[in-house]
A and B are shown apart, each in its own frame.
Chain A
Amino acid sequence: MHAMACKPEWFTGGTPTVNFHGPPMGDIKILIPSAAFEDARVAAEQAAADWASALGRTITVQAGYGTCGSTDPLCIGFKNDHGSLPTDTGCASFGTASYNPTTGEWTESTNIRFEPNWTGGHQQNLRLTIAHELGHYFGLFNRLDATCTASNTVMGAGSCYAAQAPPSGTALGPTPSDAAALLNSTFGNQVRSTCGW
């Protein structure tokens, strides 16, 4: 049983219900598609390093520019089409892919989706935004329980492209609570439960 604050929320759906998530093994790569996304590189590298440390995985932002091959669920790209789908709210989102209905694992590459005019934001806001979207890749949903704060989860709300830095104490990467929700799941890498939290 975990005695942490901030109730975990998992990104679930389908019939039968599964927890959507990236493959639990293998090196993850993040690809910057073009020079237009260069401003996000350092923030992506920091977010990747934070999640790598939290989960004990290898996550790297590749040098140069490229687009994920669609067959690679270990590859995460960038897009600037947030706002083009009826479900789009907030300032950024996680671009889903098809998934394995038995395990919930992504079977194709996914994307971090920015708004079309996303540039100019403070690097810490970008870092937090990318870390948040990577949290969705790993299977976390937004964590908006009353016990959740900007300092105990990266899966809350943020100001994606604000020019001023986030308030002092804001978690810029996954917190112990975020990592624990993924690492200490009672139900392996499928449907996770909030039992015990």
Chain B
Amino acid sequence: MVTKDQIMFARRLMVCVVISLGTPLAAQTVAAQNLRESARRQLAQNPGRALLLPAPPADYLPKSVEELTTESDVVVQARLVEDRSYLSRNEDYVLTDYRIQAPQIIAGRPSARTSPVPGQGTPLTLTVFGGDVMLEGVLVRAIDNNREPIKNGGQYLLFLKEAPGGQPGQYWIYYGGIFELLDGGRLDPLMKAASRVFHDAQGVALKEMVERIQAAKRVR
């Protein structure tokens, strides 16, 4: 049985609830976006069309080869072989893993975490922004416009940083430091703004670059 007092209390409570809900919700409150939702919407609104997503614009200030070297965890020359593309943890971006094959360590050394089993090193992986994934029947294509694409199977000089919170052996490119090794032994930076950022690393021969990297590591 409900008393008159209880009805009055319930009315006051409702007023309080309405006020307390109304005040902080002056701004619209809707679930944050993720790519799965976006793909569903794309399928409904633009069937057959890919969902395109550019990388955030990267802020690069000029940096020397010496700075790149000392600030990186490891510098390697290796072949990059595409492994898989997948959604980031929050499902808001697409990432791609490349296997770092036959790495020649030029400076630094891969973290001890990469060898959990004695005599059996964990393979090194490069994780980059971008790639293609199929989501809800929609092609989701993310592209890093800060750099040229990585050629599957190509040889690269890589300045690497351990991926924060990543798997053992998982690395990111440090500060856009990825250079394709061209026929003839010269290096070509993939970064589109390279002429402004890597003043001293334009068209440099691999041999010269390796000497500078090793010298920088010794000074450190």
Contact residues of A with B, CB < 8 Å?
A: 11-14, 20, 29, 31-32, 62-71, 75, 77, 81, 83-90, 93-99, 101, 108-109, 113, 136, 141-142, 144-145, 157
Beyond A62-B27, A67-B30, A70-B38, 6 extra complex contacts between A and B, CB < 8 Å: A64-B24, A64-B27, A66-B25, A75-B28, A99-B52, A108-B38
Closest 5 interchain pairs by CB? A66-B27, A13-B145, A70-B33, A64-B26, A90-B59
- 21 A-B pairs, CB-CB below 8 angstroms? A14-B52, A20-B54, A31-B27, A64-B23, A64-B25, A64-B27, A71-B41, A75-B28, A77-B32, A83-B164, A84-B89, A85-B88, A85-B129, A89-B59, A93-B58, A94-B57, A96-B53, A97-B53, A98-B38, A136-B56, A144-B193
> Which of A29, A81, A101, A108 is in CB contact (< 8 Å) with B33?
A108
> Which of A63, A70, A101 is in CB contact (< 8 Å) with B26?
A63
Closest to A90 in B: B59
> Which of A12, A62, A87, A145 is in CB contact (< 8 Å) with B58?
A87
> Which of A13, A32, A89, A141 is in CB contact (< 8 Å) with B143?
A13
> Which of A14, A64, A70 is in CB contact (< 8 Å) with B30?
A70
Closest to B140 in A: A98
Interface of B is mostly: loop
> Is B86 at the interface (CB under 8 A from chain A)?
no
Complex interface residues of chain B between 151 and 192 (CB less than 8 A to chain A): 163-164, 172-173, 175-176
> Is B77 at the interface (CB under 8 A from chain A)?
no
How far is B55's CA from A11's CA once the two chains are assembled, in angstroms?
Answer: 11
Complex interface residues of chain B between 21 and 57 (CB less than 8 A to chain A): 23-34, 37-38, 41-42, 51-57
Q: How many residues of B contact A (CB 8 A)?
A: 48
Interface of A is mostly: loop
Smallest CB separation, B132 vs chain A (Å): 13
Task: Using known A-B contacts A67-B32, A86-B95, determine if residue A93 contacts B26 with beta carbons closer than 8 Å.
Answer: no
How far is B61's CA from A145's CA once the two chains are assembled, in angstroms?
Answer: 11
How far is B164's CA from A85's CA once the two chains are assembled, in angstroms?
Answer: 9
> Which of B42, B59, B127, B196 is in CB contact (< 8 Å) with A86?
B127
A93 near B41 (CB under 8 angstroms)?
no
